[in-house]
Chain A
Amino acid sequence: MFKIEKLGLIDFQKALEYQNKLVSLKQNGSKINYFLMMEHEHVFTMGKGANLKNILDKNISTIVTNRGGDITYHGPGQLTGYIILDLRSNKFDLYGFLSYIELLIINVLEKLDINAYQIEGLRGVWAEGKKVASIGIGVKKGITMHGFALNVNPDLAYFSKIKPCGLDSKNISSIAELKKENFTVETVQELFIQQFPEFFE
């Protein structure tokens, strides 16, 4: 069973504490899975295996966290979705789970008439040759956390301070840029609520 929660605009660390709390509830036997959606205050985060060379602007501060992948940016206008579920009891294969998150996003983008796709060997969701959503998860004793970050209409200039996931920031796009019109995080969030059960229930 999934509980979908909208956390609004929330500090990354606060959301991380909340995720950790839910993970430990599940480690202690709670059967409820969570799908959390939110926007973060401006923040740069990186996985533990990140390459420091990917920080271009040495003045920015970053938070190292237990999600897979390299450095990325989160901020207002970007919808982040975190999935807290037990991979083992839900019989999800790890790569399959990552792929499902991408397929969920692709389906949501389809509703907005954006033809998005996966690229073999690269994670994330792509459209018109650019990356619109990044994927990165952490798994603690079989319980997943973190998830995806989909650019709805963020200020993409922030990405130029880094090499997001090792990519040139020119390769990052957003729904607003692709559609050439403004979209709100709320609209996209509603689409996720509709599509989510098809993939994860």
Chain B
Amino acid sequence: MTTEILMPRLSETMADGKILSWHKKINDRVNKGDVIAEVETDKANMEIEAVDSGILSEILVSEGQTAKVGDPIAVLNGKSIKAEPEKIKPAEIKETFEEEKIQPETERKVEKAEKTQAKASPFAKKLAEKMNIDLSLIKGTGPGGRIRERDVQEYSEEVKKQPQEKKNIQPLSKMRRTIASRMSESKKIIPHFYATYEVNANKLIVYRDNLVKNNKDITYNDIFIKAVALNLKKHAIFNSSFEVDHIEIKENINIGIAFTADEGLLVPVIHDSDKKTLEEISIATKTIKERVKNNKLKPEDMTGGTFTISNMGMYGVKEFVVIINPPETAGLAVGSIMKTPVIKDDQVTVGSVVNITLSADHRVVDGATVALFLRDLKEILENPDEIL
């Protein structure tokens, strides 16, 4: 059976890895557990072991090249036995010297070897690489549409003549790259759906004001963490992750709180949020904030989250939706506490409300389950002095 060997995820936030060396050659027998390659990621040189056995039929990523996590890097038991890439074959070397008087036989060989790429002479390829030109954009004038060196030159002249658009290029920071890949992965894989509840915040404001008056420096965030943690105890299905053929309900309730940092965002985790008192949660969030400031976050501050809360209240956002932070099942978006006309006993009065929106993974939960979760959370937030 043909099996692809994939770039393994060697660390939770690993995005890609560079192949440093292959320990197996094409046609080598690979047994499960054999070291097949060395991969570099973030200052670590890791040996990669085979998870399947078979004959190595194809190497897709050659030494010195980088592949994304999950991308195929080699093939076991494939049909066609191809030579390793980047090793110049005798036929190609010959070609280099006989570029002008093209021999039909050599020509055919080259075409066969490069089925997937644009057909081009080695000189043309070298030049294109030097000039950073994508060969597939060039129309070849050689036999069979083959691209010659001259075509590349002409193309580059052509491009130079065209008015250049000024581009302001901002390179991606590592954090930006991690956010980009995690968020796209989440949206690609998780079927998101959303539900919003309006919560009456009158009692919540009084509750927090009283805490502050008693010299307890508790933020709304702390209260939301505690409220959600309590609610997750009742609705454990939201404290889970979807695995290939099952749902794993997590034992601990570790709430992550999305947090703006220098060039992106961090989601530090309050471990065992349900077992902590409001004061303890407040101390934990303060400690983490301090560590973020001093660049002293510990790895465990960032890992093991089971549910994420994102609060944009301080920015005056009325309501919004979050992208689920994988592998979690749901995330909560908390808007601003806003004054609004409230109808009470058929009279219009001024009240305070806050909109909460849950994003949930439809593979795990359905609409009614989400409604119940939000209804109970609303109940907690509307009666904080009785419940928290």
Contacts and interface: CB of A to CB of B under 8 A. Distances in A.
B174 A95 contact: no
Contact of A66 (B14, B45, B298): B45
Given A121-B174, A141-B49, A68 B41 contact: yes
A62 B91 CA distance: 36
A95 B295 contact: no
A138 B13 CA distance: 18
A139 B43 contact: no
A25 B176 CA distance: 41
A98 B18 contact: no
B303 A48 contact: no
Nearest to A48: B20
Contact of B43 (A66, A106, A123, A140): A123
Given A96-B303, A98-B44, A136-B43, A118 B295 contact: yes
A99 to B, nearest CB: 5
Contact of A49 (B18, B262, B263, B300): B18
Interface in B1-22: 10-14, 18, 20-21
A47 B45 contact: yes
A66 B11 contact: no
B173 interface: yes
A95 B44 CA distance: 9
Interface residues of A, number: 29
Most chain B CB within 10 A, of A68, A123, A140, is at A68
B175 A138 contact: no
Contacts of A103: 296, 298
Most chain B CB within 10 A, of A98, A99, A121, A140, is at A121
A119 B298 CA distance: 13
A94 B14 contact: yes
A96 B44 contact: no
A120 B172 CA distance: 12
Interface string B255-284: 000000011000000000000000000000
Nearest to B175: A120
- When A and B form their complex, which 6 residue pairs have the shortest distance between CB atoms, in order from nearest? A121-B174, A96-B299, A94-B11, A95-B11, A48-B20, A68-B43
Interface of B: 10-14, 18, 20-21, 35, 38, 40-47, 49, 64, 173-175, 262-263, 294-296, 298-300, 303
Interface of A: 47-49, 66-69, 93-96, 98-100, 103, 106, 117-121, 123, 135-141
25 contacts: A47-B20, A48-B38, A48-B40, A49-B64, A67-B45, A68-B42, A68-B45, A68-B46, A93-B299, A93-B303, A94-B14, A94-B42, A96-B11, A96-B300, A100-B299, A118-B296, A119-B295, A120-B173, A121-B174, A136-B45, A137-B43, A138-B44, A140-B35, A140-B47, A141-B35
Given A93-B11, A137-B44, A140-B47, 14 more contacts: A66-B45, A68-B41, A68-B44, A94-B41, A95-B13, A96-B299, A98-B44, A99-B298, A103-B296, A117-B296, A121-B173, A121-B175, A136-B43, A136-B45
